[in-house]
A and B are shown apart, each in its own frame.
Chain A
Amino acid sequence: MASPVHRLDARAKTLVTLAFIVIVVSFPLYEVSALTPFLLFPIVLLSVGRIPMLYILKKILIAAPFALVIGIFNPFLDREPVASIGSFTVSGGWLSFVSIMLRFLLTVGAALTLIACTGMNNLGASLAQFGVPRVFVVQLLFLYRYLFVISDEGGKMFRSVELRSEKGRPLPLRVYGSLIGTLLNRSMNRAERVYRAMVARGFEGEIRVLLPSALRWSDGVFVLGWLTFFSVARTWNLAEAVGLVLTRFLPGIPQ
């Protein structure tokens, strides 16, 4: 990978992303404006890494329903007015709802950014270096490798079912059961073949993950820089400060 973000050590990126998520989630319930500076982190990484923003946004939107379903109750249950803009009163519920959705955007965006800028193999290696059990790391890498193979197989089966049945109607349980059973059977056969192939190539029960070389100074700068930014943005409301400066110097902007 060519971009500077991809060249960074996976451990540095994992560490910063985890810190980011914990800090974002640690804000009080009604906080909205102080969260906005945190958008800088995923945006900078995605931009420097030249990852298409729309692609990430689409993935975030697909996952939005769960946070939406739980968060949408807040405006109805918490109607206490907490703030007003001009003549428009904002209730606590709406504020916390907006805050929840913003947190969702930030945390999910950061996770997707991490994987997009790191790649699964490097992430697995960094997890192993952090002390995650080998068996689990290998399981993750294996799952990732065969995810698309087995999904393809499933996709083929389901397409053939679709061709033979009424369009758009979900299957009856019996058909579904035998279909999934067949898929399971095929997957396990595949696992046996893979296992034999691995044994033939000298597999002894453990996969060796290639661990990348030592940390460089740029990784240190990356970690320190972002952690400093996060702690500054956590301590002071940067967005409000910007707004304050703006409203001071430009009196009479719209109410």
Chain B
Amino acid sequence: MHMADALISPAVGGTLWAVSGGLIVFCARKVKQSARDNLVPLMGILGAFVFAAQMINFSIPGTGSSGHLGGGLLLTLLLGPAAALLVIASVLTVQALFFADGGLLALGCNIFNLGFFSAFIAYPLIYRTLAGAQSGALRKKIAIVIAAICGLQLGALSVVLETVASGNSELSFNTFVLMMLPIHLAIGLVEGLVTVAVVSVISQARPDRFSMDSAETASAVSRPLLIGLAIVTLVLGGLASWFASTNPDGLEWSIAKVTGKEEIAREETGLHKTLSEFQEKTSLLPDYSFKTDEPENKTAETSGNQKEPWPSGNAGTSLSGITGGVLTLALACLIGLALRLGGNSGSRQ
């Protein structure tokens, strides 16, 4: 579920950087206010724990596949929303920097998708409401599973909205949603079950570990809850309306698009032929790109599509583009090699 930089646009990345940055500042203030100074090492080590826990997989009952712990909800149960969000954010930052898991520009998106929803929506709104104050063990377990599922569903939906709003993937909103949500329903269920398993082990071995969870965070919940709700409505509403305005009707639109593409693909031989014939007649790259407008018109006719293709989409430009690209690549590698050799010999002398 980690988004990569390559798939998002600067606008989407920047917006979510701002949102997540605000969240971090807010949570940092909250953590500072809390009197527990043993929270600092605890947070750091629990972040490291999440990494370690993700090293091993377990088998998902009934299926052949395996999964591992995400940890967002577990951290929130142990630390409370504000500290948990900081831990999740730090885990994601280290993953982006050292393990190339999710990008730096996408970091804002990832913190929001994986941290915000479990810490500020799933935990306070769903888990706390369902589990109640003095509830039995079974009810708490069910509440954890439902909260985990909801948190991941919201996160997955948010991934879809951010990707579609960025416009780099050709997947339509509907296809992508149909891909992501069922998968994350399963992942959320698994996450919930694992969290329940871990929580019950801990609460048997050390019941005091979870005592802080109800006593200290109860008062801190109400305000972040309201602010969180407001932010999420704004962001989701904004993204959704933006999306809705550009693509009037989801399903019909995606079907039309897919079928339209099919027709183009069938006619591709025709276009392909004309282009190659044209290629034979002309000498190579007479003037940067082909002189006549003829092939451009033909392209327009055969494809019958008003969508603007590649900005400078013709054979001439693309050939010089490719030659230049390959050359630049070689040049960059050569420069690197030269610098390396120079540096090495310099250090040896």
Q: Is the CB of A135 within 8 A of B86?
A: yes
Query: Does B244 sit within 8 A of A, measured CB to CB?
Result: no
- Pair A83/B315 contact, Cβ less than 8 Å: yes
For the complex, what is the distance from the CA of A184 to the CA of B79, rounded to whole Å?
A: 13
CB-nearest residue of chain B relative to A145?
Answer: B44
Per-position binary interface string of chain B over residues 192-233, scored 1 when its CB falls under 8 Å from any chain A CB and 0 otherwise: 011011111110011001000000000000000000000000
Which residue of B has the minimal Cβ distance to A182?
B201
Most buried by A among B57, B60, B319: B319
Q: Which residue of B lies closest to A39 (CB)?
A: B332
Q: Which candidate, B114-122, B124-132, B142-150, B321-329, is the interface stretch facing chain A?
A: B321-329
The reply to whether A25 and B13 form a contact with Cβ atoms under 8 Å apart is yes
Set of chain A residues within 8 Å of B279, measured between Cβ atoms: 84, 86-87, 255
**Chain A: interface residue total (CB-CB under 8 A):** 133
The chain A residue sitting closest to B69, CB to CB, is A180
Cβ contact of B324, chosen from A153, A176, A239, cutoff 8 A = A239
Interchain CB contact (< 8 A) of B100 among A73, A108, A251: A108
Verify B87–A243 contact, CB threshold 8 A: no
Chain A residues, Cβ within 8 Å of B185: none
Chain A min CB distance to B101 (Å)? 6
Are A89 and B44 in contact, CB atoms less than 8 angstroms apart? no
Given contacts A89-B271, A150-B49, contact A246 B323 (CB under 8 A): yes
Give chain A residues whose Cβ lies under 8 Å from the Cβ of B205.
181-182, 185
Cβ contact of A239, chosen from B28, B29, B168, B327, cutoff 8 A = B327
CB pair B319 A247 closer than 8 Å? yes
The residue from A59, A115, A242 contacting B328, defined by CB atoms under 8 A apart: A242
Identity of the chain B residue whose Cβ is nearest the Cβ of A190 in the assembled complex: B45
State A214–B313 Cα separation when bound (angstroms): 49
- Judge whether B4 and A66 touch: CB under 8 Å: yes
* B94 with A32: CB separation less than 8 A: no
**Is the C-beta of A231 less than 8 angstroms from some C-beta in chain B?**
no
Please report the C-alpha to C-alpha distance between residue A104 and residue B319 in the assembled complex, in whole angstroms.
23
CB pair B168–A100 under 8 Å, yes or no, is yes
Contact call B56/A205, Cβ cutoff below 8 A: no
Inter-chain contact A247/B343, CB cutoff 8 Å = no
A26 interface residue (CB < 8 Å to B): yes
A47 lies within 8 A of B343 (CB): yes
Q: Which residues of B contact A195 (CB under 8 A)?
A: 38, 40-42
Stretch at the interface among B234-242, B245-253, B260-268: B260-268
Residue of A nearest to B334 (CB): A43
B98 → chain A, closest Cβ, in Å? 6
Query: Do the beta carbons of B320 and A184 come within 8 Å of each other?
Result: no
The minimal Cβ–Cβ distance linking A37 to chain B, given in whole angstroms, is 5
The reply to whether B305 and A80 form a contact with Cβ atoms under 8 Å apart is yes
Q: In the complex, are the beta carbons of A180 and B197 less than 8 A apart?
A: yes
Residues of B within 8 A of A92 (CB): 309-310
Interface on chain A toward B: helix, strand, loop, or mixed SS? helix
Determine whether B178 belongs to the interface, using a CB cutoff of 8 Å to chain A: no
By secondary structure, the B interface counts as helix
Bound together, the chains give a CA A206 to CA B288 distance in angstroms of 62
- Asked whether A143 and B94 contact (CB < 8 A) given A37-B332, A154-B56, A176-B197, the answer is yes
Number of chain B residues close to chain A: CB under 8 A: 129
Residue among B52, B56, B314, B343 with the most chain A CB within 10 A?
B52
Shortest beta-carbon distance, A227 to chain B, in Å? 16
Q: Is residue A1 within 8 Å, beta carbon to beta carbon, of the partner chain?
A: no
Contact of B332 among A21, A34, A36, A142 (CB under 8 A): A36
Contact B261 A80 (CB under 8 A): yes
Against A, the Cβ 8 Å flags (1 = close, 0 = not) of B25-60 are 100110110000110111111111101110111111
Q: CA A47 – CA B257 in complex, angstroms?
A: 46
* Contact bitstring A153-175, B, C-beta under 8 A = 1, else 0: 11100100100000001111111
In A117-176, the 8 Å CB interface with B consists of 123, 132-136, 138-147, 149-151, 153-155, 158, 161, 169-176
Say which residue of A53, A150, A252 sits within 8 Å of B51 (CB atoms). A150
- The answer to whether residues A50 and B340 also contact, given A112-B100, A178-B201 and a CB cut-off of 8 A, is yes
* B100–A111 CB distance below 8 A: yes
Given contacts A85-B319, A187-B49, contact A115 B98 (CB under 8 A): yes
B19 at the interface (CB under 8 A from A): no
Tell me if B186 counts as interface (CB < 8 A to partner A). no
Interface residues of B in 271-296 (CB under 8 A from A): 271-272, 275-276, 279, 283-285, 288
Question: Do the beta carbons of B336 and A133 come within 8 Å of each other?
Answer: no
Sample of 12 A–B contacts (CB below 8 Å): A25-B5, A36-B326, A44-B336, A67-B7, A142-B41, A172-B59, A177-B201, A181-B202, A183-B52, A191-B42, A195-B40, A240-B325
7 additional A-B pairs beyond A50-B343, A90-B318, beta carbons within 8 Å, are: A47-B338, A70-B171, A81-B309, A140-B94, A150-B52, A188-B209, A244-B324
The 4 A-B pairs with the shortest beta carbon distances in the complex, nearest first, are A177-B197, A142-B44, A243-B324, A181-B201
